[in-house]
Amino acid sequence: MTKVARPSDGCPAGVGHPVTNPYYPCMDVEEALRTIGIVLAVGLIAVPIAGYLRLPSMVVLVLAGIIAGPQVIDLVDVPIDAPGPSLLFSIGVALILFHGGMGISVRVISRTAIGLLLLAIPGVMVTAAITGAAIQPLFAVSWPIALMAGAALASTDPAILVPLFERLGLRPRVAQTVIAESAINDPMGTILTLTLSGIVVAGGLTTSAFSANSPLADFVRSIGLGLLIGIVGGVLIALLLSNRRFGVLRESAAATLLAMVALAYATGEATGGSPYLAAFIAGLIVGNKDLLRIDHDHEQERVLDTYLSQTVDIVVLGIFVVLGLNLDVRALIDNLWAGLAVMVVFIFIARPATVAIALGLDRRAGWTRQEAVFITWCRETGVVPVAVASMLLAEGVPGAPLVATLVTFAVVTTLLLQATTAGWLAQRLGLVEARPALLETGG
**Residue 375 falls within a domain, yes or no?**
yes
Does residue 121 contact residue 184 with C-beta atoms inside 8 Å? yes
Report residue 4's pLDDT band, with 50, 70 and 90 as the boundaries: very low
Q: What is the pLDDT of residues 331-351, one digit of tens each?
A: 788 888 999 999 999 999 999
**Residue 255 falls within a domain, yes or no?**
yes
- β-bridge mates for residue 277, sequence order: none
Q: Running DSSP on this structure, what letter comes out for residue 3?
A: E
**Alpha helix segments (H runs only) across 241-350:** 253-271, 275-287, 298-326, 329-334, 336-345
Q: What is the pLDDT of residues 366-423, one digit of tens each?
A: 888 998 999 898 877 877 787 788 778 767 788 888 888 898 888 888 878 887 788 8
**Residue 28 falls within a domain, yes or no?**
no
Cα 258–chain centre separation = 18
Q: Of 314, 294, 309, 296, whose CA–CA distance to 251 is shortest?
A: 296
DSSP for 330-383 reads HHHHHTHHHHHHHHHHIIIIIHHHHHHHHHHH-TTTT--HHHHHHHHH-----H
With H, G, I as helix, E, B as strand and everything else as coil, classify residue 133: helix
pLDDT given at position 434: 55
How many distinct helices (H) and strands (E) make up the chain? 21, 2
Q: What is the pLDDT of residues 142-166, one digit of tens each?
A: 998 999 999 989 888 766 666 667 6
**Residue 35 falls within a domain, yes or no?**
no
What average pLDDT does the structure give for the chain? 78
- CATH number, domain of 364, equals 1.20.1530.20
Least confident of 42-51, 126-135, 300-309: 300-309
Report residue 204's pLDDT band, with 50, 70 and 90 as the boundaries: low
> Which residue would you say has higher pLDDT here, 2 or 131?
131
**Residue 13 falls within a domain, yes or no?**
no
pLDDT given at position 437: 43
Please check the confidence at residue 252 and state whether its pLDDT lies above 60.
yes
pLDDT given at position 26: 52
**Residue 19 falls within a domain, yes or no?**
no
Number of domains in the chain: 1
**Residue 9 falls within a domain, yes or no?**
no
**Residue 424 falls within a domain, yes or no?**
yes
Domain containing residue 257: 41-75+84-439
If one counts every other C-beta atom within 10 angstroms of the C-beta of residue 241, the result is: 27
